[in-house]
Structure 1
Amino acid sequence: MAFDRQKLVEAVKEAKARAKPRNFTQTVEMAVNLKDIDLKKPENRFKLEVVLPHGRGKEQKIAVIADGAVAEAAKKLGLDVFSGEQLEELANSPRKARKIAKEYDFFIATAPLMPKIGKLLGKYLGPRNKMPQVVPPTMTNLEPIVEKLKKTVRIQLKDNPVVHAPIGTEEMEEEKLAENAEAVLNAIINKLQRGESQIKSVYVKTTMGPAVKVER
């Protein structure tokens, strides 16, 4: 890959150094600018889920929409659970549906409830790229899925030739943030028709800090 791991480390280190102290833990983000790509063609757009080797550095909020065995398994893991009956209640409460879609980072749902979810929550989850991960209604061990989602970031290429992704927090080590950035870059490169030659530039920054270019 044209991006050396050490160059990523140096850019992350500079971005953290240039960020002014804030009264909250800032996210470290990256922006990957692309070139020579026609986004009018749907096949050139993409949505991806990338598992970061070192996680997000902060807790992800995961909700489960299920009844029966899956609901019980979710409760044992301390997850918020919405039953099929509660889902029906959202039909008359767009405000609550919108709030739920905004509040949680990821959703897990059982297959039989997906038609209802599409009808009642689809218009709120779809634009946020948060449609649920579907599991069988008999699944009793959600832990592997939950642990994976805690380390996952969703990225997409839509109308503009740039992909944004969080790669951790400012409290994480530079090397770990660089490895997370590398995972995102590799995922993007694998989706591009001509690979890394279509990457114009890469920047990293903290939430409120200035962007720092990753040298090649």
Structure 2
Amino acid sequence: MKQEILEAVKKAKEEAKPRNFTQSVDVVITIKDLDVRKPENRIDEEVFLPNGRGKPVKIAFIADGELALLAKNAGADLVINKADLEELGKDRKEAKKMANRHDFFVAQADMMPLVGRFLGPVLGPRKKMPKPVPASAKPEPLMEKLKGTVKVRIKDQPVVQALVGSQEMGDEDIADNIEAVLGVLDQKLEKGRSQIKSMYVKTTMGPVARVI
């Protein structure tokens, strides 16, 4: 299947019209013989892409004290303390803007109840609830891992759509990232990738290129 994936990646990139931004590359996979009404058939996994996402990732840290300082020094795009949390809780519009601007949230574990209260209604529906970490956590390795992480989900429909890179990345690198996504399906589906009904590769605004 590797060759077919490579060909589809190449075709999707070639057929994408030039845009004034770097387009993402997604893989879209339809699964057969899967009853998504059963909770055990739903998937919600984080996948580490071996060659990264190909685009910058914005990470917000919700922390106080030393962890907040370490996160700031490690290059977090935003550090939210307790006072900021309360302010965002009062300003839903600003909270939504902030949630849309950031890809991942990390929170000091003992602040999670406050996060749930003030930001839960905004982050929950966007599937961006923070990853809780202890106050003694080291932000740098955490952030490095998140920069190459994507979500693979099956919820209401037996379909996975996941970001696997950007059009500026090499074809082989994107193909390896697609293999990482398929690895999750191998683990989670009863019959692994033989349950794939169809698979396409596409850029953000380009046409789809069929793999199978």
Residue in 1 aligned with 2:94? Answer: 96
Tell me, in whole angstroms, the C-alpha distance in 2 between the residues paired with 1:205 and 1:94.
Answer: 34
Matched residue type, 1:57: G
- TM-fit CA distance, 1:89: 1.4
Residue in 1 aligned with 2:46? Answer: 49
Residue in 2 aligned with 1:161? Answer: 158
- TM-fit CA distance, 1:122: 1.3
Tell me, in whole angstroms, the C-alpha distance in 2 between the residues paired with 1:153 and 1:98.
Answer: 21
Residue in 2 aligned with 1:72? Answer: 69
- Does the 8 Å CA contact 1:28/1:170 hold for their aligned counterparts? yes
For the residue of structure 1 that corresponds to 2:45, the secondary structure is strand
Q: Deviations over 1:96-133 (max 9, x none)?
A: 11112111100111011101111111122122221111
Counting only pairs closer than 5 Å after superposition, residues 1-216 of structure 1 correspond to structure 2 as 4-79=1-76, 80-139=78-137, 141-215=138-212
Tell me, in whole angstroms, the C-alpha distance in 2 between the residues paired with 1:101 and 1:68.
Answer: 23
- TM-fit CA distance, 1:63: 0.5
Structure 2: where are the runs of 5+ without partners? none
- Does the 8 Å CA contact 1:129/1:154 hold for their aligned counterparts? no
Give percent identity, aligned residues only. Answer: 53
Is 192-201 or 102-111 further displaced after alignment? Answer: 192-201
List structure 1 segments (4+ residues) > 4 angstroms apart after TM superposition.
none
Tell me, in whole angstroms, the C-alpha distance in 2 between the residues paired with 1:194 and 1:179.
Answer: 21
Matched residue type, 1:159: D
Count of residues in Structure 1 that have an aligned counterpart in Structure 2: 211
- TM-fit CA distance, 1:194: 2.2
TM-score by length of structure 2 reads 0.96
Tell me, in whole angstroms, the C-alpha distance in 1 between the residues paired with 2:75 and 2:140.
Answer: 11
Tell me, in whole angstroms, the C-alpha distance in 1 between the residues paired with 2:185 and 2:94.
Answer: 34
Matched residue type, 2:180: A
TM-score by length of structure 1 reads 0.94
